[in-house]
Amino acid sequence: MDRAARFLVPLPTLMGLLIFLCVRPGAEGGKVLVVPMDGSHWLSMKEAVQELHARGHQMVVVSPELNMHIKEDFFTLTTYASPYTQDEFNHLLLGQTYLIFERTHFLKMFLKAMESLKSAALVFQRSCEELLHNKELIRHLNASSFEVVLTDPVYPCGAVLAKYLSLPAVSFLSSIPCDLDVEGAQCPNPSSYIPRLFTMNSDHMTFLQRVKNMLYPLALKYICHISFTPYASLASELLQREVSMVDVFSFASVWLFRGDFVLDYPRPIMPNMVFSGGINCGHRKPLSQLNGQVSK
C-alpha cells in the first residue's frame, strides 16, 4: 500500500474539523500587549495593530507619555511617566537631526552621529527602566491576562517585558543590525552567500567581496553594544540570572519579518520566522495626474 495513503483524511472530515476550529469559542479575539518602537517604526507596526484590531483582537499599546507618534487611537493606550521633560526629550532625540544636511568631514560626522545615537539610546533605555521598574503598572499588566506581546526588537524592552510576564513574544521587524535576530533564533547565517548590511553585495560574491562581507559587521558591533547591552543588564536584574544580548533576542517565540524573497536574497530561515511582505509606513499616496501626463 502507498505509505502516504495511510495518512489521508477523508475530505468532508477535514472540512468539518476546519469549520469546528474556526467557530469554537477559542477562536474569539485575543488580548495583545503591544510594546512599539517610537518614530517611523511605529507607523509600520500601527498598520499591523490596526488589522489585528479589525479582526476582533483587543490591542493594548504601552508607551511613555512623552513620545513622537504614539497617540490615542483605535487601540487602548496605557502610558507611564517619562523620566524627561518635553524639552530634554526633544533635544536628546531630535537635537542632532540637522546633521543629515551638514557637509563636514566624514570622521567628524561619524563621531557626532555616534554621540547622538548614544543619547537617543539612553532615552529609550531610561524609558524601558521606567516601565519595568513601575511596580504598579507591571502588576496591572500581569493581572490583565494578555495572551501575547507584539513588539519591535529594535527596542528590546518588549521582549524583556514579555519574558518578565512569562508571555510569548512576537517580534515585528524588517531587520536589526548585527544579526541579533538571526542569532537569537539560532538560525544558520553563512557569510559566504548572505550579503551583510550596507555591503551592497549580492548572494554571489568574489573572494574580496566575501572579505568585505566579513569585515562590515565588525564595524556595527559597537553600535549594537551601545544600543542593546543595557537591555541585557536590565533583563539580568529582573530575571535574577545572567542574561546576554543574544538571550534577550531569543525571548521571541515568532519572528514576523516585513520582508519577502522577491526582494531579498535567499537565506536559511527557522520555522518560527514568517515573512509578511513589505508593510512599511503604510498609506502610500497615488501618483498625481501631473506625473501621469509628464510620463506620456
Ligand X SMILES: *[C@@H]1O[C@H](CO)[C@@H](O)[C@H](O)[C@H]1NC(C)=O
Q: Are 231 and 125 in contact (CB under 8 A)?
A: yes
Q: Which of 60, 109, 121, 165 binds ligand X (CB under 6 A)?
A: 165
Residues near 171 by Cβ (< 8 Å), separated by ≥ 6? 151, 152, 153, 159, 181, 252, 254, 255, 256
CB of 31 to ligand X, least distance (A): 15
Q: Is 85 exposed, middle or buried (0-12, 13-18, 19+ CB in 10 A)?
A: exposed
Please, which residue, 141 or 150, has the CB nearer to ligand X?
141
Please, which residue, 87 or 136, has the CB nearer to ligand X?
136
164 is a site residue for ligand X (CB under 6 A): yes
SS3 (DSSP) at 192: coil
Please, which residue, 144 or 202, has the CB nearer to ligand X?
144
Least Cα distance to 162 among 173, 176, 148 occurs for 148
Please, which residue, 164 or 172, has the CB nearer to ligand X?
164
Please, which residue, 99 or 165, has the CB nearer to ligand X?
165
Distance CA 157, CA 165 (A): 12
Residues 62-101, one symbol each (x = binds ligand X by CB under 6 A, - = not), give ----------------------------------------
Residues 118-157, one symbol each (x = binds ligand X by CB under 6 A, - = not), give --------------------x---x---------------
Using alpha carbons, list the distances in angstroms from residue 2 to 12, 14, 154, 200: 21, 20, 50, 49
Residues that bind ligand X (CB under 6 A): 138, 142, 164-165
